[in-house]
Amino acid sequence: MDEAALIREIACVVRGQIGVLATGDPAAADARLAAVLNAPAVDPERLLDVLESDAGLHRVAAEALAAGSPALASLAVVRSAGLPGHGDPDFLPTRFACPEADFVWYRRSVGGAPPACPTHGAVLVADRQQ
């Protein structure tokens, strides 16, 4: 994944968790990210400007860029209680994305239902090729 694609994916992943990641106004940050992601030509520098404008978003975006992976560390592996006597299995969250490619959400539990894309109202599609 090249750097521009990585920045775009980080921005999409951040949108899925913006309510808990943003230290400022999450709705305003989300609207700014959505506007840049839905522009005819997505500018990675503009995405970085939005991410850097909020301390919480800046922190997680910097961590993801340093790791070279759009999967935020807090979403990577979830420990879950297994069956008695069988240990605790790791649960890899399922990635769901908007068909318009501007929003990503990870299901962190088996029963979690994905939200609709806040920009398009579209049903998110599961990514089977994680």
- Domain borders along the chain are 3-71
Each residue's pLDDT tens digit, 5-17: 999 999 999 999 8
Q: Report d(CA 114, CA 106) in Å as an integer.
A: 8
54 phi/psi in degrees, rounded to 5: -125, 130
Q: List pLDDT tens digits, range 89-127.
A: 555 678 899 999 999 998 877 777 899 999 999 999 998
Q: Are 36 and 103 in contact (CB under 8 A)?
A: no
Residue 105 CB-half CA count within 13 A: 20
Closest CA to 108 of 90, 86, 128, 124: 90
Q: What is the DSSP letter of 76?
A: S
